[in-house]
Amino acid sequence: MPSYDFLNTKTNEIEEHKMSHTVLDAFKEENPHLQQHFVAKNLPVFSDANRMSVPGTMKADSTFEKYVINRIKEQVPGNTLKAGHKTKMNREW
């Protein structure tokens, strides 16, 4: 059963409650003093190699460099990617 973190606005403490997703909305309505609080442990990980690869190959898709990395370099101010950054693909080693 999933657990959800809530900030108790009366005590300013984080509380963890386990419940089914189907009762989450009702729980929020019954407890207006609790605000859902998101912490890093509950967020999905997007750096997993399986999710960023061509299915079954464990290799990055060539369009990833072209459309994602290059857009980050161009559009995200203060990004940490160097101008010469190149995502190494297994076929390029």
pLDDT digits (tens, 9 = 90+) for 44-59: 555 555 555 556 566 6
The predicted pLDDT at position 69 comes to 74
CA-closest candidate to residue 16, choices 31, 5, 28: 5
Angle at 81 between CA 47 and CA 77, to 5 degrees: 105
Q: How far is it, in rounded angstroms, from Cα 53 to Cα 57?
A: 7
**Contacts of residue 10, Cβ cutoff 8 Å, sequence gap at least 6:** 33
Percent above pLDDT 90 for the chain? 34
The predicted pLDDT at position 25 comes to 93
pTM for the whole thing? 0.45
